[in-house]
Chain A
Amino acid sequence: MNFIRFIKESVHIVIHGSRKYYAWLAFLLVLIIWGAVGYIAQLNNGLLVTNMRDNISWAFYIGNFTFLVGVAAAAIMLVIPAYVYNWKPIKEVVIFGELLAISAIIMCMLFVLVDIGNPLRLWHIIPLIGKVNIPSSLLAWDSVVLTLYFILNLVVVTYLLYKQYHRKEYNKSVLTPLVLLSIPLAIGIHTVTAFLFNGFAGRPYWNSALLAPKFLASAFCSGPAVLIILFQILKKTTTFEIKDEAIWKIAELMAYAMFINLFFFGSEVFKEIYSNTEHLVHLKYVFMGVKGNNDIVLYGWLSIIFSVVAFLLFLIPATRKNVITLNIGAVLIWFGVFMEKGITLITPGFTPDVLGQIYIYRPSMTEIRVSVAIFAIGFLIFTLLTKIAIAIVYENFNIDTLGGRRK
């Protein structure tokens, strides 16, 4: 029954904290309630309260979903360099990466949940219970790999923390294969998510073989961007130790990934502009507007500018090693990739729609509220999990103590 005690004491940890901590939780809770009320209205009135329509049948929710799949995947892909360069705090990198992945996947699942028309029927997609269209449906695959990835990360991180709670060393022969398995799965979730869009032959904006590689490259930027900031915070507030060189290395790798991302983007732009087929219209819509509709143009350019600036900041050693420019770069990357995935990936694929019609979509207030609430839930979960992890890893919370305090 040690596990129950572990859970109990973990709960004890998350409900005790500083004033700042409570304020943060309260802030998140307010956002969650604000969004939940919006979601209840959506449940009652249908997705009519969103601004999605038949022409643009996926939009902000699925954009956020796609972005967060990238975050979830990349958090774990950071484990690869951690292994390759043999960073000192590899266990910590794994733990926080996994916690980020878990939080991101929960957000992903919530974004799918709020996007579907009949959430009560979600059981239809559960293998053995429902009726899953595998191997044909990419969305079916996506739900399966996301679930597996979620379970795997949950198991690994719980195992790690639970062992440390018991002041025991983790069993390498158990953990290493799991961690190694999580790497291809991380690549898998993002690839399958890319394929989900990639596979639609009727949507030329997505029907590019570069989509999955581009997803991976951009995810390799956005995920670590969060961790770079988190590691610095941990370093300041806990006994967490990570060499500056490791952070710089992450930034350098992100620069390479961003270069690949931009190169892929450039290749697509070349192909579309030079061949100048009717498929060019989607790209035009993102960067120039079509028929006077240029709502999205700002985000198209901002995402490119942010990405290029961040790339340069991370490429040049002087700015990479400067705390301020490093963090600016991380923030720029996060928002650059968010705009790319969340805003300029989904709706431009539907604009113009398959019959050439243009509907200018802007998320409705309900969509914004619900999305904010889901991000708040994600941050809340990440906060709580991180607090437990910090307590166990750095604050000597273990089986012999209670809630991190000596008995």
Chain B
Amino acid sequence: MNEPTFHHRQNKNGLLVDRIRRDGLEKTIRLLSGLISLVLIIGVSVSPRVSGQPQVRDDLSADIQIPPPPFTDGIFPCMDCHADMETNPERRALEDFHDDIVLKHDEENRWCMDCHDAENRDMLHSASGKPISFTESYKLCGQCHGPKLRDWKAGIHGRRTGSWNGQKEYLLCAHCHNPHSPEFKKIKPEAPPLKPGEIR
């Protein structure tokens, strides 16, 4: 996985929090700002467990950054190619393009247009047909994987980096799971430790 560049999704409050944190280099101020930011974080965060909160964009806490989706180089926007092509909804073996895709994701019941939007190929769509941006693909995944989405939003499922008490970075589902074949791929482990007898 190449290191993605992060684009910031912050509202005003998020920046304020950030600024207070930055300013709080001196100990006493840091103490105070820690408290303030804590209050603010709680104030602006929309916990998935709390319903009826005002909608913050994409329904995640303001302190959260998500890197862009892990597209293959040069493949996006899709409409560069697809704009002039007719949609073929038939299940078939892909030959001319995208033939590297192996669908192992409920492949009995699923085909491209179940997730990719036929009208606007630069978007995905939900089961109900509502368009979903690639940057918010978790909304699509979460339709089936509800508990996982809930855990992900809470920061429990998936890697979370950054600051435990401030700005956090989430990864999209697709950063770790190939959406067409989502099982996590095996990797080579690092070297085992030396046995005690080998430490000389």
Direct contact between A and B judged by beta carbons closer than 8 A:
yes
CB distance from B67 to the nearest CB of A (A): 37
Which of A48, A56, A360 makes the CB contact (< 8 A) with B200?
A48
B189 beta carbon closer than 8 Å to chain A: no
Contact indicator B200/A359 (Cβ below 8 Å):
no
User: Which residue of chain B is the closest to A56 with respect to CB atoms?
Assistant: B196
A167 interface contact, C-beta 8 A: no
What is the predominant secondary structure among interface residues of chain B facing chain A? loop
- In the assembled complex, the Cα of A154 lies from the Cα of B195 at a distance in Å of 46
Q: Which residue numbers of B lie inside 8 Å of A, CB to CB?
A: 195-197, 199-200
Which residues of B have CB within 8 Å of A55?
196
Cβ contacts A to B, 12 pairs, < 8 Å: A48-B199, A48-B200, A53-B196, A53-B197, A53-B199, A54-B196, A55-B196, A56-B196, A359-B195, A359-B196, A359-B197, A360-B197
CB-defined contacts of B196 to chain A, threshold 8 Å: 53-56, 359
Q: How large is the interface on A (under 10, 10 to 19, 20 to 34, 35 or more residues)?
A: under 10
Tally of A-B residue pairs with Cβ under 8 A?
Answer: 12
Q: Which residues of A contact B200 (CB under 8 A)?
A: 48
Q: Is the interface of A mostly helix, strand, loop or mixed?
A: loop
Which chain A residue shows the least CB distance to B200? Answer: A48
Q: Which residues of B contact A53 (CB under 8 A)?
A: 196-197, 199
Q: Chain A: residues with CB nearer than 8 A to chain B?
A: 48, 53-56, 359-360
CA distance A118 to B199 in the complex (A): 20
Nearest B-chain residue to A362, judged by Cβ? B197
CA distance A54 to B199 in the complex (A): 10
B195 closest partner in A (C-beta): A359
Highest count of chain B CB atoms <10 Å: which of A53, A54, A55: A53
Name the CB-closest residue of B to A53: B196
Nearest-neighbour CB distance to chain A for B38, whole angstroms, equals: 35
| Cα-based distance from A360 to B195 in the complex (angstroms) | 11
> What's the Cα separation between A359 and B196 when bound, in Å?
7
Q: Which residues of B contact A56 (CB under 8 A)?
A: 196
CA distance A261 to B195 in the complex (A): 37
